[in-house]
Amino acid sequence: MQLVFDGHNDVLLRLWTHARDGADPIAEFRDGTSSGHIDAPRARAGGLAGGLCAIYIPSGDLVFAEPDRNGHYVTPLAAPLERWPSLDIANEMAAIALRLDRAGAWKLCRSTSDIRQSMEKGIFAAVMHMEGCEAIGADLAALETFYAMGLRSLGPVWSRNNVFAHGVPFAFPMSPDTGLGLTEAGFELVRECNRLGVLIDLAHITERGFWDVAKTSDQPLVASHSNAHALTPVARNLTDKQLDAIRESRGVVGLNYATAMLRDDGRSDAGTPIETMLRHVDHLVERMGIDCVALGSDFDGATIPEDIGDASGNQRLIEALRGAGYGDADLAKLCRENWLRILASAWGETGKAAA
Ligand SMILES: [Zn+2]
């Protein structure tokens, strides 16, 4: 079995939501549940050995637009969030991540040697990620405290605007060039992440924001859970020009399993076959090479193909890739080694910057 280190999941959002209803997040993750996509037993069964686990503040007002008869849709951006209660919610999700670590239900990793050790031990290797930094004010003070809690990766913005950047809407078909780029505070956030050794994730940012980060950051360019715009022209996917820049920086793109980001017609449909995922992997590999492609499932955050179902079905994708001609060396890169190389670089373990 090829163990997978995955670029994006929303399991903390699910555990936090259920905890608000009285559930025990530790028991839910450690012992397993029938809801959502990831818990320790299902992750083990599917060889999902670890991943970037997002702290994400939900947008209560977000209503996905219905596609018209051509399948086209434009969901307006969710409203910007206030710093409070965003900071409270982020603290609560970070606390769940820390409690899972203390309970031994997962390992909260702060280095790639942490990740490799917990993968060897069969303990889920979690890395704390922040998807949209509404909990961090423009003064960046909270970045320091979240770093101390274990934060090692962040996307400045989700698909809504904030003090750091503008996000892309959920829309099909649409270019990712939908708004402004980084603000002054956003540039400062990027520089501070470079200094601290926090990975910067370009999923959800506008194309202008993408280029702003590209010209500012000394890290490889990373989109943790995005696909090829040439195949599925949703605003969230990456144009070939963006893929070329990621290749030049020796960065990485994690394949998003969200069916709306995989299908030609942009529809969200659990009946979508795994072959659509292979087409995106092939395109990403043709454009960037095998060293720049990885996985970013969006487990617990998206409608994924029912042929995979949840984390326990993750190896069905790997087997399909094997059937399509990817050998063990390529699969090791796709499944985990590319992510580990990127994290080692962003975290300053191997000397920064590439190319
Ligand atoms: Zn996302």
Q: What is the pLDDT of residues 85-106, one digit of tens each?
A: 999 999 999 999 999 999 999 9
Cα(131) to ligand 1 centroid in Å equals 7
Of 344, 350, 345, the closest CA to residue 115 belongs to: 344
- Residue 230 and residue 207: Cα distance in Å, rounded? 15
Cα(168) to ligand 1 centroid in Å equals 11
User: Residue 141 burial (CB < 10 Å; 0-12/13-18/19+)?
Assistant: exposed
- Residue 336 and residue 2: Cα distance in Å, rounded? 9
Handedness of CA 177, 178, 184, 188 (dihedral sign): negative
Q: Does the pLDDT of residue 212 top 60, yes or no?
A: yes
Cα(203) to ligand 1 centroid in Å equals 7
Q: Does the pLDDT of residue 353 top 90, yes or no?
A: no
- Residue 134 and residue 159: Cα distance in Å, rounded? 12
Cα(309) to ligand 1 centroid in Å equals 18
What is the reported pTM? 0.97
Cα(226) to ligand 1 centroid in Å equals 8
Q: What is the pLDDT of residues 250-277, one digit of tens each?
A: 999 999 999 999 999 999 999 999 999 9
CB 303 within 8 A of CB 270: yes
Tell me how crowded residue 19 is: count the other CB atoms within 10 A of its CB: 18
Residue ranges in 131-249 assigned as alpha helix (H): 141-149, 184-196, 207-216, 240-248
Write the DSSP symbol of residue 79: P
Cα(241) to ligand 1 centroid in Å equals 21
- Residue 2 and residue 188: Cα distance in Å, rounded? 39
Cα(77) to ligand 1 centroid in Å equals 14
Distances (CA, A) of 328 to 41, 149, 241, 260, 271: 25, 36, 29, 29, 28
Cα(210) to ligand 1 centroid in Å equals 15
Cα(253) to ligand 1 centroid in Å equals 13
Buried b (16+ CB within 10 A) or exposed e, 21-60: eebebbebbbebbeebbbbbebbbbbbbbbbbbbbbbebe
Cα(103) to ligand 1 centroid in Å equals 27
Cα(224) to ligand 1 centroid in Å equals 9
Q: What is the pLDDT of residues 137-177, one digit of tens each?
A: 999 999 999 999 999 999 999 999 999 999 999 999 999 99
Cα(21) to ligand 1 centroid in Å equals 24
Q: What is the pLDDT of residues 300-337, one digit of tens each?
A: 999 999 999 999 999 999 999 999 999 999 999 999 99
Cα(298) to ligand 1 centroid in Å equals 7
Tell me how crowded residue 215 is: count the other CB atoms within 10 A of its CB: 10
Cα(159) to ligand 1 centroid in Å equals 8
Cα(160) to ligand 1 centroid in Å equals 11
Cα(240) to ligand 1 centroid in Å equals 20
Cα(292) to ligand 1 centroid in Å equals 19
- Residue 192 and residue 184: Cα distance in Å, rounded? 12
Cα(212) to ligand 1 centroid in Å equals 20
Cα(116) to ligand 1 centroid in Å equals 25
Q: What is the pLDDT of residues 15-69, one digit of tens each?
A: 999 999 999 999 999 999 999 999 999 999 999 999 999 999 999 888 899 999 9
Write the DSSP symbol of residue 199: E
When pLDDT is averaged across residues 111-130 and rounded to a whole number, the result is 98
Residues 6+ apart with CB under 8 A from 34: none
Of 109, 318, 296, the closest CA to residue 304 belongs to: 296
Cα(225) to ligand 1 centroid in Å equals 7
The upper half-sphere exposure of residue 46, i.e. CA atoms within 13 Å in the direction of its Cβ, equals 28
CA angle 324, 326, 329 (to 5 degrees): 170
Write the DSSP symbol of residue 106: S
Cα(306) to ligand 1 centroid in Å equals 19
Cα(345) to ligand 1 centroid in Å equals 23
Cα(133) to ligand 1 centroid in Å equals 13
